[in-house]
Structure 1
């Protein structure tokens, strides 16, 4: 993919993150404790958000950082990874060169993630990962920012811990991987089951009007006017069910793949759109469209922000654009609340 990967990953801080932080901070009598709890909560929620992107389950409610009776007495920002252990998500203030480790964070941790705050609390940067620190007669009190390993080592470390646990407690499980959708074959009129024409997905009276009311400032989002042009490539769509009754939402994932000029390093342009279908006029609020690479890591744009977009209350479509070479694989994930659906593609 042609997205520029930078050393740090930026994670936006959602309204939910700030709502939890305000709730917990308001319970603190001491203003200093309130500020500390606020930042700890945001740090934990940011790492929780990142792990959800790469499909690693977490349990916010089980951490000490989420317990009201412990927040005032413990300076912790722990996030529970079910059946693995506790990950400490340490907040690091702007222009700070070290990550402080309170004594209560040195016990029963599988590792540490550095969460760098900016002046504005609208996003954080994940600095990387440090595995658990071995006990010592002289306990470590801080980490240098250079101690943090690339963030990719976190998912590898969690995989190793899970594998070791699986060996200790074997479980019979059969996984049948689904074959990725081959976009290159679409040009030979070969389409996978479930991928319909635009006309079959949307009858004339239900066809979307393309009133995009979302955030136009995000660099990965294409202006809505582009969608009004006739398609120059091959376009197909698939119905995606997001959740069961009684809160079911059905959305249409539309993919248009267009060949680029032979002089271009990237061979194809892929436009991804999500539309409401049938009875639903608008998309549900906070529906996320996320693009991941073949290893389930978020693809970043030139600013280091994940290639992702979230629907607003009156959006009737959202979209992202990416380019890639023949044979490259990527994943498209739709997330609504606790429901996540992933489609795999190869160009």
Structure 2
């Protein structure tokens, strides 16, 4: 093994995070496993961020209590690169243990396996090195590549990664929605609304909000209002551990305007069994250069937050970011030039 390694301090935040997950598991052995796995992921996460990589810890399977219970898993998602498996190594051990479930069944998702050795006090972790692939449960630490090579290895995947998905709002007028999005009208056309969003129940608050918006649009149409009737799409967003992997719904309404512009309205609504949005969740509008143009934040017992209605010229792009604690989710939008037929 190359002697170059990296030490990472395991802060109170790291241990608080580990204890939070540990409480999900009553079996002492499983609870200890989850605790150490969480510390290992924290250490690798800290290291990669210092190296300039953007990580998505809350989107990793290792933060899901169900996966924790079913598997010995310690993955970390790295944006545009894939996943890194962060394996804990006990003090004085000369072996790296990699359970079969993270290499035999889903090994294609892993870009590397990092050995993270703890001190006796669990106050510090040392990133000993990594390997690209494993074919056995135990690996000698002498076989590891230097941790310095990890960045180079990940950059190879980053160069090959496709650009992030951009939703073309213009296609919504033809009822063509990107993966994960669904028209609000189609929700109400389903025979059983509780089957919407892949078997997730829509709670009464969300259903009521959507019904009110739908009825308002119908009323304007009946009154032949001069205001354009919007086309609306909705998507569930997993805001991660802060809500125990529950979701909120992003609702985007668009309407054709004059001078090759589109009017846009973005709202955030609670879903499932929650009647209110989590306090302090933020909804932000970002320019194509990632500048914050406007922002809305939920207070106590808010059942909806929204951005001020804005216009976007055809051919332009923008992003909408949802953030809560350490979790940040961004949806990218573009409005490609398109020919519209007059709404009846």
What's the TM-score bracket when you normalise by the shorter of the two chains? 0.3 to 0.5
As a proportion of its length, which structure holds more helix?
Answer: 2
TM-score (normalised: structure 1): 0.45
Of the two structures, which has the highest relative contact order with CA contacts closer than 8 Å and spacing of 6 or more? 1
